[in-house]
Every structure is written in C-alpha cells, then in structure tokens.
Amino acid sequence: MINYKVPLRDIRFLIEDVFDFETHYQALPGTEEASPDVVEAIIIEAAKFSEDVLSPLYQSGDSGCTFKDGDVTTPEGFKEAYQQFIDAGWQGLSGPAEFGGQGLPSSLGIIKSELIGTANWPWAMYPGLSLGAMNTINLHGSEAQKKTYLGPLTEGTWAGTMCLTESQCGTDLGQVKTMATPNGDGSYSLSGSKIFISSGEHDLTENIIHIVLARTPDAPAGTRGISLFIVPKVGVNPDGTLADRNAVHCGSIEEKMGIHGSSTCLLNFDNAVGYLLGPLHQGLQCMFTFMNTARLGTAIQGVAAAELSYQGALPYARERRSMRALSGPRDTDKSADPLIVHGDVRRMLLTQKVIAEGGRAMLYHSAMLSDNMFAAQAKNDEDAIQLYEDRLGFMTPILKAFLTELGYEAANHGVQIYGGHGFIKEWGMEQIVRDTQIAKLYEGTTGIQALDLLGRKVLLGKLKSFNDFRSLVDQFIKSHSNKREMKPYISQLKIYMRAWRFKTWRLAYGAKRNRDLVGTASYDYLMYSGYIVMAFFWARMADAAFSKLAVGSNNEFYRAKVQSADFYFNRILPRAGAHGHMMTKNPESLMQMPEQNFSFH
C-alpha cells in the first residue's frame, strides 16, 4: 500500500525560493489575507487531510461505484471524506467572498487540488468538476444565476458537472444534437443524451448542477449554433430551497480501465428544465472557461501520477535486494544489494523525480498567471485580461498534454521498478497506471491539445504567445549568462531556444504550402515545446538552489535540486532533439498511403 506524504519541502522551495509567492500575493488586489503564515497553515492542513483521510481511501476506492435504479453510490468512505471536506471549507478556498468563499488566490486552490489529487485522484474529481462550474457561472452567469447557484457550489453542498460529449461526437462539438426548446418563460426544455459525464450522478451532495451544451431549434449549424445551459438535477425555488426532481437521469455508469471511484455517467435529459448561461449561440466560447479549468486540473494528474508512483517506488528500491552493484558489492554482509544501486533503476527513479518536480514548477507558474487573470477580470482591465489569457492559453495545452504523457511514463516506471510485484494489485502501482491513462484522453486527447498549440495558439496567433514566452526565457538567459555555475544550463537553453524559434518559423512557412504539415507535426511540436519549457523551469530551480547553497542553507536538499537539474538537462532534455527532427519532416510518409492500404490481412 502506498502511504502518500505531501512533499512539503519541495512546495515551500517553489513558493518561497523560486517564485516568491509572498511578493506575488502582495501585488494582487484583495489578497491581503494570503500572508506567509496563512499560506503555510493552509498547506499544512491540506496535507493532513490528504494524507490522513484521502490517501487511505485510494486503493479501497478502486472497488468502484455502484449503480442501481438511476442512483450511484460512491465507494465506502468517500461520502464521509467529502463531508469533512466541506465542513472544513476547502471547496470555497479560492471562491468569491460574496458567495461564501474565502477569496484567497486561485494558485492556493491549485496547490490544494494537487495535494488531494495526488492522495486520491478519483475522489478529487468530484469537487474538481464543481470548481469548473463555479468559474463558468461566475464569469458568464447573470446576477440572479450567481445568487442562486454560487453559494451552495462554493460551500460544497451542491456539485457541478460539464456535459459536452454525445455518442456521435467527442471533440467535434459542432455535431452536438441535444436540443433546448424555449418554454416561453425564460427557461428551456432540454432533450438528449450526454456520455462520459464525470460526477454526473453520485451520493455526495444534495444537488448537482449540470453545465450543458445544446442547440436551440433555430440555431445555425456547427459550433456557431451551440448555447450553454444550467440544468440542475433538482429544481431550485426562488428562495434557494430545493424543489422537485428535474427530468435528468443517469442511465448507466461506465465500466472503465481506471478511476473506478469516480462515476462516469450516461445522462438522459427528457425535457429537463434548463436556463441559458451566457449569450445565445455563444455556448462554446463560454464553455471554454470550464474546459480550461478542467485542463489545468488534468495537468495536475500528470504531476500527481509521477509523485505518487515515485513515492511508491523509492522505498521499494531501497529495501528490495537483487544482484550486486556493477562497481562491486555495497552491502557485503547481505546476500545482494538494494535495487537503488543499479544504474537503470536510478534512471527510472530520477525520471519520475524530475517529471514530478519539473511539472510542479510549470503548474505553479501557470497558477500565478491564473491569479493575474482573475485579478484583471475583477478590475475589468481588458488589456490585462487578454495578456494573461494569451499567456495561460499558450501554457495550457503543454501542461495538459505534455505533463499527462510524462506522468503516465513515470507511473509505468513505478511498475517496472517493482518488477512482477508491480503487476499485482496489492502494491498499488498498477492502479496509478490505470488511473492515469485517462488523463491523456479527457479534456481533449494529446493530439487535440497538440493541434490547439501549434494550429491555434502559435500559427493562427501569429506567434504572439510563443514570442511572449520566448521573451521570458531570453530575459532569464541574459540575466544569468555571467553566473559561472549556471553556464551548463544557460548554454543549452540558448541552443534550444534558437532552434525552437527557427523550427517554429519553418513550420509556419511550410504550413502555407502544405496544410497537412500542421497535423503531422503537431504532436512532436508539443512534446518538443514541453521538454524545452520544463528545461527552463529546471534552470530556474537550479539557480534558486545555487543561491541557497552559496549561503550554506540546507545543503543536501539544494544539492539534490542541482543534481536533479543535471539529470534533466543531460538525460531528459535530449529527447527534444528527436521530436524537433521529426516535426519538420515532409508529411508525405504519413499521408501518402491510400486508405485501402491500411490493411490487417
């Protein structure tokens, strides 16, 4: 059994030494309460809840949810843990104060989500989906809708879902068929079915607020005709009390590869009463608020998988004995040496470690961007909103796809380190692999995120957000070029940044002549970009560690940071070279084969 321990020292290193959250929070309006003492207390309490309450439920929750007569029962202990969660006010940590939240920065909520998600990802999906519903209603809802729904969502007594996918369409939402017919009183009757709805039905809350994409009878075809609706599981009276059950029901739950403790539902809307959320026919634009919240949440799963698998593998590698070290016996009084002395086991452990810690740094940087974006929205500063939306938009597909791909790799390394025991359920390592596979799929597959990055964010954006991020890295390179200890990292960053710029321009020009190039290059472009972005953050962490070492602070921790950065730059970053080589190849080898030649006989 894996006993998750929150990596408090690593979290403090990032928020204090690398990113200076204290100064960041001082610059945000309305976050005076986020003092270092308060931040520390919140992280400590979130750690206790994650370690003591959620982690013990992770493996037992793999037994899954049960479905009977339209009702879903979550695994034993989930409901009690959720009650503790809402009693402590965790759901409203970053929620608006006017609706019962604590009004703390979004980044603190992301740190909290990382801790509970690493401890028990299937459980964490229930409150995680609610956060997306809260953000969407808060940004696009009417004042009456905010008053009706945000209070109970913020306190956690109601939950939220995102209802997009239908049997005939996943990513291509222009094919949505769910119909919303006006009732003449400002409400709509929604009819249709949605599949793969996470947390669509459960026993944790008294109400579930479904955020649903549908089209009205007179809507234009395609994505231009989609609108967004609030559809409560139970109706809400004008005074906020619950009314009658709405006509939305769970038809079944999916039998899945993993995340068994999270209910994944088929929802049937049979003239269910719903309410327009945001402008008519602009539902997809409004739903992007929810989707981007969910994509950042999914990026957490990549970090969580790497961290949890590393924490499971490291003790085993220290305790399990097999063969002798190639350089000679280490423990001569024992029959064999521990696994950790072997070079290939160290390769896997260090890969897990640098993925978890590098991914956490990328996530916390983006969390700060999220803070700035919410601050700009509060001030209605359109220029600032656009700036931070662009910056966060550039990072989001990289976070979602790159980190989940690497998190899945890290989880597999955990199984490898255990050998045959890793394939056995009692150790918990194979569950991490099964649970993490979905992270590469939901909220847009890796391929879809890659197309979003290269096609929309870079090429259609005329390289604006790419150049903005490149400028950030170039400033770091310039300011650290004269630091002797940083030269190994800075020299490589210079090379990769020049190559990234050249290859991006090359793809931009090539795509004008051959549109297929975008599709054939996008996956490799995303992975190439991800490795370079993570290298930048490992360089920042190395710089912070060198600064602490210079004044004699906690030497072993900071030495380990530098050694981890060395491993990343020497053993992981070179992977980018292969992706960079492949992405600039002519699409012909991928596109020339006729469909009939894709034969299996």
Which residues have a catalytic role annotated? 443
In angstroms, rounded to a whole number, what is the distance separating the alpha carbons of residues 313 and 223? 46
Which of 342, 339, 340, 345 shows the shortest CA–CA distance to 322? 339
Contact (CB, 8 A) for 148 and 310: no
The tokens for 419 are 């050998």
Which of 378, 376, 401 shows the shortest CA–CA distance to 386? 376
Q: Position of tokens 């939950």?
A: 159
The b/e string for 97-111 (b: 16+ C-beta within 10 A; e otherwise) is eebbbbbbbbbbbbb
In angstroms, rounded to a whole number, what is the distance separating the alpha carbons of residues 345 and 413? 9
In angstroms, rounded to a whole number, what is the distance separating the alpha carbons of residues 333 and 336? 9
In angstroms, rounded to a whole number, what is the distance separating the alpha carbons of residues 341 and 296? 36
Helix axes 343-378, 382-397, angle to 10 degrees: 160
Contact (CB, 8 A) for 200 and 265: yes
Strand 71-73 relative to strand 66-68, pairing:
antiparallel
Which of 570, 470, 468, 548 shows the shortest CA–CA distance to 13? 548
Which of 489, 579, 566, 581 shows the shortest CA–CA distance to 529? 579
Contact (CB, 8 A) for 197 and 265: yes
- Sorted by sequence, the CB contacts under 8 Å of residue 489 that are 6+ apart come out as 535, 538, 539, 542, 565, 569
Torsion of CA 413, 418, 421, 422, to 10 degrees: -20
- Cα distances (angstroms) measured from residue 123 to each of 53, 134, 191, 244, 263: 11, 18, 29, 28, 10
3-state secondary structure of 249: strand
Burial class, 515, CB count within 10 angstroms (exposed 0-12 / middle 13-18 / buried 19+):
exposed
Contact (CB, 8 A) for 264 and 197: yes
DSSP output for 159-185: EEEEE--BTTBSS-GGG---EEEE-SS
The b/e string for 59-68 (b: 16+ C-beta within 10 A; e otherwise) is bebbebbebe
- Cα distances (angstroms) measured from residue 132 to each of 126, 128, 153, 159, 430: 11, 7, 10, 10, 29
Contact (CB, 8 A) for 524 and 583: yes
